[in-house]
Amino acid sequence: MKLFIKPFPAYVGRAVRALAPKARTARPTADVLKPEIEERNFYRQLYTKIILWLFLLFSVNVSFADEPEVTIKKSDRCPVCGMFVYKYPKWVAQIMFKDGSYYFYDGAKDMFKHIFDTAKYTPGKSAENIKAIYVTDYYEVELIDAKSAFYVLGSDVLGPMGHELLPFKDRESAQEFLEDHKGKSIIRYQDVTPAVIESLDHRS
């Protein structure tokens, strides 16, 4: 038997649709959201790495700013002996004062002379106002902190001002030089006295 269903009038269908509850939009499942979550995590990690990189870069720049700036002009003279320092880059030493002024020397020996008698060579200044002191490592030819350096005495190597203290950044290098160049001893910054400097000037 064939059933025949008479269709409802159009207005009945509209009324039914109006009274029926609206279907909720289906919320995306975890699988659907996974690519979006991974993308957000990627950019979050990338942002964190960029911030860290910028921080490290800034830190490096700050550390560079603390290093000595060596710009020796042809007119720069050693305040102790009066020689033009630019001619002797392997022997350069430097003192920086708290007021921003600085001086170059053609060897560690003259630098120590300035420290021991600061007012004589730079009237109005005192050793208490010294901010930083640098000497040139003999092998590396780069400025290093004078107070952490190792100095070889009594070698057969002469500097622009004769017998010198030869600076090295570590004891191993100083010992190697001492053995190769008939050095007598290795001393530290605090061991350098006016008597030591005087003995260098009077050594034949």
On whether both 54 and 127 belong to a single domain, the answer is: no
On whether both 44 and 100 belong to a single domain, the answer is: no
On whether both 176 and 97 belong to a single domain, the answer is: yes
- Say what the pLDDT of residue 3 is: 40
Residue 59 lies in a domain: yes
Q: What digits encode the pLDDT tens for the residues 78-113?
A: 999 999 999 999 999 999 999 999 999 999 999 999
- Say what the pLDDT of residue 8 is: 45
CA distances from 114 to 32, 104, 128 (A): 76, 11, 12
Q: For residue 151, what are the domain limits?
A: 85-202
Residue 75 lies in a domain: no
User: Looking at the 3D structure of the chain, how many domains does it have?
Assistant: 2
Low-confidence ranges of the chain (pLDDT < 50): 1-8, 11-12, 15-16, 19-20, 23-25, 58-65
On whether both 178 and 96 belong to a single domain, the answer is: yes
DSSP secondary structure letters along 102-170 = EEEESSHHHHHHHHHTHHHHSTT--GGGEEEEEEE-TTT-SEEEGGG-EEEES-S-EETTEE--EEESS
Closest by CA position to 106, among listed 129, 82, 75, 138 = 82
- Say what the pLDDT of residue 126 is: 95
Burial of residue 132 (number of CB atoms within 10 Å: 0-12, 13-18, 19+): middle
Residue 109 lies in a domain: yes
Residue 18 lies in a domain: yes
Residue 177 lies in a domain: yes
On whether both 105 and 172 belong to a single domain, the answer is: yes
pTM over the 0.85 mark: no
On whether both 98 and 56 belong to a single domain, the answer is: no
Residue 97 lies in a domain: yes
On whether both 90 and 37 belong to a single domain, the answer is: no
β-sheet bridge partners, residue 166: 152
Q: Rounded CA gap, 78 and 106, in Å? A: 6
On whether both 36 and 94 belong to a single domain, the answer is: no
Closest by CA position to 136, among listed 173, 168, 162, 158 = 168
- Say what the pLDDT of residue 184 is: 96
